[in-house]
Each structure stands twice: as C-alpha cells, then as structure tokens.
Chains A and B, each alone.
Chain A
Amino acid sequence: MLKALVIDAGKCTGCKQCEMACSLENEGEFNVAKSRIRVFDFHTEARFVPYTCTQCAEAWCQQACPVNAITTDSMGVKVVHENLCVGCKVCTIACPFGTVNYNASTGKVIKCDLCGGKPACADACPTGAITFQDAEQGGFDKMKIWAAQSGNAATHEGPNTPKASQAAGTGH
C-alpha cells in the first residue's frame, strides 16, 4: 500500500525537529541547511509551514535528468542515485516546487525519498504536523487525496499541458 507524508501546517510550531532528524538521518549531521524537509517561517505572521517533495507523478526532476540518475521506485518515490548524479543541477531548476536542492559538499543533488519508507521527519514531529499515512485510506489513492486538497489534481498536468488546465492563480 502506498503511503505519503501528510502535512498539517496548522499544527506546526516551528521547532524544526523534522529538519534536524532529516539531516541526521540522511547526511549524518545536524545541519538543517541540508535537510530535505524545510520549515518555512512566515515572519510577519508567526506561522510555520513544513515543506518537502510529494513524489509527484509528473516527476519533472526525473524527466530533466540528463543521465537517468533519478528513478521511480516501486512505492512511487523519486530516488536520486548518487553514483549516477553528475551534479548538473538541471533538476533543481526543472522542479517547479523547488524541492530538489544542490548539496555543494557532495556535488550532488538531494531530495526527499521518504527515508526508504520510514520518514525520520514524521517520527520526530512532536505535534503531529507531519504524519506518514496510507495513501489509499478510505479508498482514495494518492492522486485522489491530492485532488481533494488541491482542487484539480485529477487532471494530468505536465510541463506542457494546455493552458486552460494550468492557468492558475489565487482568486481565479
């Protein structure tokens, strides 16, 4: 059964335990700058929003990679193969969500891979703002959950979907 990170920003207190856990799990050090999940701080509003890759079906990063270093595993997760990544960074500009980042100390890119099925961020979150749940609960698959939440996910959207389905904006 596919599982997905579910984020409830309303519960986030900005403690950044998720960032610490992520960098320790994946980089072996407490360095939030290398975390694959980031908590954005809305300074003026004192609000916090945890943010990371949702393993989108379109996989813009994967399509842009010139050496096939990003593949989709059996769980639908987009995984970067460090041995193949040349560090060209094209995926970092291709991902329209900005969730693939360059790690200058390794010369490769990093992105969330759900820690291979046991995301450290969800384990570390003390408030339940980040949970790892069955994506198919209640008969919904991952896409349908997104659809319910984002309004139009059921349509297939890629780099070149016709304008009508992508012309977006707030207050349209």
Chain B
Amino acid sequence: MNYVILGAGPAGVTAAETLRSVDSQASITLVGGEPEPPYSRMALPYLIYGKIDEGGTYLRQDPTHYDQQRIRYVTGRCGGVDSRAKELYLSGGEVIAYDKMLIATGANPIMPPIPGAHLEGVETCWTLEDARHILKLAEKGSPVVLVGAGFIGSIILEALYLRGCDITVVELAPRMVARMMDETAGGMLGRWCEAKGVRVLTNTRVTNIESGPESGPRLSVGLSNGQRAPADLVVMAVGVRSNTGFLVGSGVKTNTGITVDDYLHTTAPDIYAAGDCCEGVDLSTGKPDMLAIQPVAVEHGRIAALNMAGHRHRHRGSLNMNVLDTIGLISSSFGLWQGAQAGQTAKVVDEGGYKYMKLEFEGDKLVGAQCVGMTDHVGMLRGLIQTGFRMGGWKEKLLAAPERLREAYISVAQGSPTAGPMSPHVNTPRAGFHGGASGH
C-alpha cells in the first residue's frame, strides 16, 4: 500500500506515525509545504519571546525520527490533485502517485483587504518564516500594532508583550476573544491587558496602512476612530481559512473546509482529510465545523489513518476547547460555552480578583464552561463535558456553588467516595473513564 500524506503539521505527522504503527510494510510519504522539518505552529509564540529556539518548535525532536519510522519526508507545494489518476502534483513538477491519500494542509491566515496591507512590515504569524520576520522587525520597545484579538491574536499578543514590544491591539468586536468567551471574561482580559500597558481598542477597525515618516517608525496605521498608530510591525490575526485552493476540480468537495464523513473520508475515492483543513463533527452540536485547534488535528490524524489502513473507526466528534495565557491571566473555554437553549447557568465572578467560572448545563449534563484565573484541574471540565456524565444531584449543588466542581467530578466520574469504587476492592461496576485517577 502506498500512502501519501499532504501536510506535515500535527494532523499529518500523527497520521503518518499511526499508519506506520498499524502497517509495517506500507510505503508512507509525508509532504510538507514549507522548507522546514515538521513543526508546530502553536509553538511559534514561544519562539518569538525567546523561550525556545527553532528546534523547540519541531513536532519531533529526534532528526532521525522519520527515517527510523520509514516515513519518507519531502517538501513542496501541491498545486493540484487528480483523484481518478490517483496522483498529486507538486509545484516543482514532481508527480506523486498514491493508493490512499490524506489531505492535512491546515489553514491559512486571512489577509484583510486593507489599503497598504502589502507593505513591508505587515506580517501574519503563522509560519516559521513569519516568526523569523517578526523577530527581525520587532525589538524591545518597538511599537507594534496587532490586528485582531481573537484566540490566536491574544496568544500572539502575549508573545509580543514578553518580547518587550509596545503594543496596540485593534479589534473589530466589542471585546477580546469574542468567539471563545463571554462579555465578562472578555472584559476581564481587556482590563488586564490595559493594566499591563497594552492599548486595547475594541469596536475599532484598521482603515489603511501607510509608510511612516522618514525619521519615525516604518509604518503608520489608520484607525476607524480617526487616530493613527505608528508601528515598526503590524501583525494580522483576523482569522483563518482552510487551505484547499489546490483541490478545485479534484472531486474533493469543500465548504468552509473539506467535507468529510464520520470516517474522515472525503467525497473523492481513497482521499481522507484531517485537521484545520476539514470540517469534522463538533461533539457539542453533532454538526460539521472547522475546529482549528491542535488537539482536534491530532484526533483527526489518528482516526483518519486508522480508517485509511482499513480499521473502521468512527469519529464521533471533537470537543471545542481552548486555553489562553494573556500575560499571566489564564483562561479556558470548553464546548457550548455560550450555553444551551433552555439550559441553566451557574457562575461565580470576582471582577477585582480577575476570577470567573461559568458552567452551562443542559438537563443534568454539563455541556460548556468558561474559566478565568483558575487553572488547577481544569481538565475535569473536559472530562465531564466530553463524557456526558449525568450530574444528578450535583447539578443543584453546582448551580448554588460552581466552585465545588472538583468534588462533583470525583463523585460523578469516579464514584462516591463512600462507595466501593474508591477503594481497592470494588463491587459496583460503572461506566466512564477507566483508570481515571484516584482509587482505581
């Protein structure tokens, strides 16, 4: 069997390794679209503020890893796919034939059509090459305009802050991270950043970018509030679009991402898709959606590979979840954080202390959550939501006191501490996560 994996991000690399683990004989080719070893985009912020060097962004550290796994790694841009001839074409002219192919080409940042967006000094923060540019353009004290305060924009914000840049954030929405958290949480993040000396301009648009004056910073950024902001660097983080342009005419159907079935198979024979480029099922809604996050890319990669190798493995959906560190204020959101229709909400807010927790219930199940300023054991939220445990009597207790989450988790997911499951000798069989921590 000849497997070809297009895209060497977390989805592609996980898929290649999974294929090798279930098929020792197959030929496996992994194609990366950039002249780099396979690396992780989400490690780029840590490169920007000097926590790691380039090697620290690599998905696998051992340089012989791919050889050892007998995964042929090549780089080149794919310009087209012929699903009848079962070939893909790289821009250098190379033709790669496949028996089964995985598309894992991820997403690309959107460049908004702003006059002057092509000027030198206007960058996205998406590739290793982008990060190298940013490192060159922004020094300690450099004025930087960051366009977009969504989840990824906010991560970039922290990196630029820790690099020592003087930051102005321009966000169209009325608050930061508007698609990850509510007004209370977004408001806290905004106030926190301002207290740290970052200018946060919400409800504001960039109208144009011009070259700066001879003596001053490289660029001058026009804003919808009538002001101009000087900048050595403008970073665009206004959203992403799946990377599927090369599929036109290939028979692979795309919507906002590549359309896949429950086995991550596309509409073309023997072609699968995984990660940011595809629309897998969102566990919370049961509907296809682009969940452009690292854990989903890995889940997809693994499941798609198992299906390619003939091990039928249904993807029942991925949970949307994010964790964000905004200059030391850590927040997270899970599942239906906006709440369910006719659902119930529990919350505790401490505006001054920058602490917030909100739980969303549907019936007696937890379906969504948001946290600011709390990190201990937050994974339990994922556990409860993903598993769909019935909270029973604990729901009322949590509605009254959401901070009792840990007790609720132990009781519901691990069994009541009074009952058998917590002791080494157990009688009541129960479903749920096996092995989950204590008492097992």
Residues of A participating in the B interface, judged by any CB pair closer than 8 Å: 6-10, 33, 38, 40, 42-43, 45, 47-54, 56-57, 63-64, 66-68, 84, 86-90, 92-102, 104, 107, 143, 145-155, 157, 159-163, 165-172
Which residues of the other chain, B, contact A161 by a CB distance below 8 angstroms? 316
Q: Report how many residues on chain B are interfacial, defined by Cβ distance under 8 Å.
A: 77
Complex: A84 Cα to B46 Cα, angstroms = 11
Which residues of the other chain, B, contact A171 by a CB distance below 8 angstroms? 390, 392
Complex: A138 Cα to B364 Cα, angstroms = 40
Determine if B431 and A168 form an interchain contact, defined as CB atoms under 8 angstroms apart: yes
Which residues of the other chain, B, contact A143 by a CB distance below 8 angstroms? 434-435
Given A7-B422, A86-B52, A162-B314, A51:B437 Cβ within 8 A = yes
- Chain B minimum-CB-distance residue to A88: B42
Residues of B participating in the A interface, judged by any CB pair closer than 8 Å: 10, 14, 40, 42-43, 46, 51-52, 56-61, 294-295, 298-299, 302-303, 313-318, 321-323, 325, 328, 330, 332, 334, 375-383, 386-390, 392, 406-407, 409-410, 412-415, 417-418, 421-424, 426, 428-440
B373 to chain A, nearest CB (A): 11
Query: A104, A150, A157, A172 — which one has the most chain B CB atoms within 10 A of its CB?
Result: A150
Given A98-B383, A162-B316, A40:B431 Cβ within 8 A = no
Q: How many A-B residue pairs have CB under 8 A?
A: 248
Partner of A40, one of B46, B318, B406, B413: B406
Determine if B10 and A66 form an interchain contact, defined as CB atoms under 8 angstroms apart: yes
Given A9-B417, A169-B390, A97:B434 Cβ within 8 A = no
Contacts A146-B435, A160-B315 known; list 5 others, CB within 8 Å.
A93-B332, A97-B379, A97-B413, A150-B432, A166-B387
Partner of A92, one of B43, B378, B422: B378
Complex: A159 Cα to B303 Cα, angstroms = 10
A106 to chain B, nearest CB (A): 11
Given A66-B42, A159-B299, A166-B387, A9:B435 Cβ within 8 A = no
Determine if A9 and B383 form an interchain contact, defined as CB atoms under 8 angstroms apart: no
B427 to chain A, nearest CB (A): 10
Determine if B437 and A92 form an interchain contact, defined as CB atoms under 8 angstroms apart: no
- Chain B minimum-CB-distance residue to A91: B379
Determine if A170 and B430 form an interchain contact, defined as CB atoms under 8 angstroms apart: yes
Determine if A96 and B378 form an interchain contact, defined as CB atoms under 8 angstroms apart: no
Complex: A46 Cα to B302 Cα, angstroms = 44
Partner of A68, one of B60, B330, B422, B438: B60
Given A51-B410, A170-B390, A89:B375 Cβ within 8 A = yes
Which residues of the other chain, A, contact B294 by a CB distance below 8 angstroms? 64, 66, 90
Given A54-B440, A171-B390, A8:B375 Cβ within 8 A = no
